[in-house]
Structure 1
């Protein structure tokens, strides 16, 4: 076994020390990294592809999180905010995604020392080292990173950085509807009838779903939230119906354990169970999708079910199969990823969804997040790869440890502490692409 070198090397030259740390993503985790760097006195730039901070969170802003406020605010961010008179909302109440942004993320981003360093509408399309691809080794650790950015007007520029923290998340890269993980055959023909996870079926997207048959694909919390929304819509709009399609032989999903400290999550499973028992949700289990096709103005999903080829017709498909990390932008970075869940190799055994729930994940920090590329870290949901057990409080401790390491404070970086709520199983134990929504 090769011993992990704990010595910070990101400022090994005078030139490197003058460069900022590049943070990819202005969601809760990316901005928490920024807040920690503010406290450390380290310059940074935050690149956000959306036209506002936490753009992905706002896509599912109508959805209520499982965690109450006391588990949703980063300690360093809270210190900066409270210096300006901010107060924590009711610590025992769980907010919606929109409330999380409005009452916490947006005020954090508006702090002068952070706002001046955030670039909106700036999509990172590649990361490398200056003047070298991934094959070159000599002087690599002391060579600046190059972050290639595309702005909303199509302009492309390269920005130099001393280190890179990738907190871009996974919401923009969902798993395929196809059971084999490849792009679904026929997807181009039905794309206009497929929606991402967590559509606002009772609000913004109501007319799209009302009086139509929707099939929700997936067995995790995102699927459960959408199913319950559609059940309510069906009560209000006659002619609305919902099918729940899962690839497993039975509906193993989320915890309804009374021991779950996150009460909203504990109730979710029992509410879905009740709706199924009442016939409000039709369950189509053991269905492995292999292709899709158009049938006049409807969609047909073709798959294997109990050794037979089955065709399922529907009007709309909700892809709630979970998410995966977008690794395309990191082709020139030397990564060490687990071959199964695509998480950093040292972290993967700690978050394997076949073994761990959100509440049993061990404390971890820069050591577990380190790659062969010195000064490069993937944090937050993206660090979990395809594992669905992420909680925001876990990501906050990740960035605290990483930023301490970047500051040369190995003692603080190594002293990782993580107190999580007592929880039941966070997702399906059968790997059906359950998502982690919502923390």
Structure 2
């Protein structure tokens, strides 16, 4: 059993649908297919999901949205016509438009891109269509219910040989639609792979796997043939965008490997992501480097020498309470240092400070904004005693100041903080130093 997810670029038009069909039928193990909504067909084209969000925005503000919806309808009708499908789409369009006119949620609007593409693809492949809303569940707080989903989905899949299950969405307890964050079809694919106990999860997109750096920053970066889930997750957290970061756990916890493949170059082996570290003979020091802007460096210093550990615990408790995402950096007896996502932190800063003040421990807090977080990932880094020195030296040669550096004790990654306007130059300098 192989579960195959196809991204928006892989299903953007009829020609791409034909490529997908060839790929699916090239291996009889590809029995469960997860489609995204149609992506861009050319530069300046609109993704269907973006058009659907625009429809919702127009409807919510009292503006007419029919013209935008007609554009969406034409995308699907053109695909069906060019593939010579006998499927009648009009009843689906009428139902969706009625729900829109009655004030359906933004999540409902957005999910219809995957829903309609799933209906089309199932008809084209001759597979059964299984609506994700029937088998993927969220609780009342909007949190994905992994175990309930796995149980129900497994029961349904046991009775189905071949199926198309649209990505990106599921249902709330009241039956209404809820979507994952953008790119969430990756998550759906991983969820289905886990429930089906697949031997492999394939993620088909428009690139031949991961590269060791962003090609928009580094010229002709090397491809990554093998990487672990932990390494891949670290790269995604710092800006790598090939795969949604939240799709890791369902397959990694089940020991299922993921293969990133290129729909437009199916003969390329792509990148294999596995649970355990594999030997990388051609680049033993690290697996890749990526960077992300929009961080701030938060330093909280305790002025009272007592209650050392309780203060550290209190800071982390408050960060968790207000949902402040951070990279936790080594802290001293009197200091906690966090690399936080700036936009999110500034929205919660007053509540955050007020809550810590309740501990009755005097403290001071400084915030250094406009920081880019760069992560070097690979199990070889921490075993190389010169790695941190080489990072400093490489950045010094380019006159780039280092705001912070943290080599994690988990033998996986090293985080470097630099000014946002120097991120691209810093990534190039680090890449060139190690490769």
What is the TM-score when the length of structure 1 is the normalising length? 0.25
Q: Pick the structure with greater CA Rg.
A: 2
What is the TM-score when the length of structure 2 is the normalising length? 0.25
RCO higher in structure (CA 8 A, sep ≥6): 1
Write 1 or 2 for the structure with the bigger share of helix: 2
